[in-house]
Structure 1
Amino acid sequence: MKLLRGFLWLLGFQLLGHAVVELLALPVSHAMAGLLLLLAWLLVKRRLNESVATASQALIPLLAMLIMPGVVGVFFVIDEFAGHWTAVMVALGVGTFLSVLTSLWLMLRFMPKEADGGDERERLS
Structure 2
Amino acid sequence: MSFIHGITWLLVYQLIGEVTVRLADVPIPGPVLGMVLLFITLWIRGRTAESLDQASSALLSHLSLLFVPAGVGMMVHFDRIAAEWLPITIALLLSTVLTMVATALIMQLTTRWLARPQDNGAGADDD
One fold, TM greater than 0.5?
Answer: yes
Aligned-residue Cα RMSD (Å) equals 2.9
Unpaired stretches in structure 1, ≥5 consecutive residues: 106-125
Cα gap change, 1:19 to 1:82, in 2 (>3 Å): same
Change in CA separation of 1:5 and 1:89 when aligned onto 2, cut-off 3 Å: closer
1:90 aligns with 93
The reply to whether residue 21 of structure 1 matches residue 21 of structure 2 is yes
Aligned to 1:78: 81
CA distance in 1, matches of 2:64, 2:95: 18
| CA shift digits 1:59-97 (9 cap, x unpaired) | 1122122233234434524146322365256358658x9
Q: Secondary structure at the match of 1:47?
A: coil
Question: For residues 1-125 of structure 1, what are the structure 2 equivalents within 5 Å?
Answer: 1-75=1-75, 76=77, 77-79=80-82, 81-84=84-87, 86-88=89-91, 90-91=93-94, 94=97, 98=100
Work out the CA distance in 1 between the residues paired with 2:95 and 2:24: 32
Count of residue correspondences:
100
What are the Cα deviations for residues 7-66 of structure 1, in whole angstroms up to 9, with x where unaligned? Answer: 111111111111111111111112111111111111111111111000001111221222
Moved segments of 4+, more than 4 Å: 91-95
TM-score (normalizing by structure 1): 0.63
Identity of aligned residues (%): 30
Counterpart AA for 1:18: E
Distance 1:21 1:71, change over 3 A: farther
Aligned residue for 1:83, secondary structure, equals helix
Q: Which one has a bigger Cα radius of gyration?
A: 2
CA 1:4–1:89: 2 relative to 1, 3 Å: closer
TM-score normalized with structure 2 length: 0.62
Unaligned runs of 5+ in 2: 108-127
Equivalent residue letter for 1:31 = P
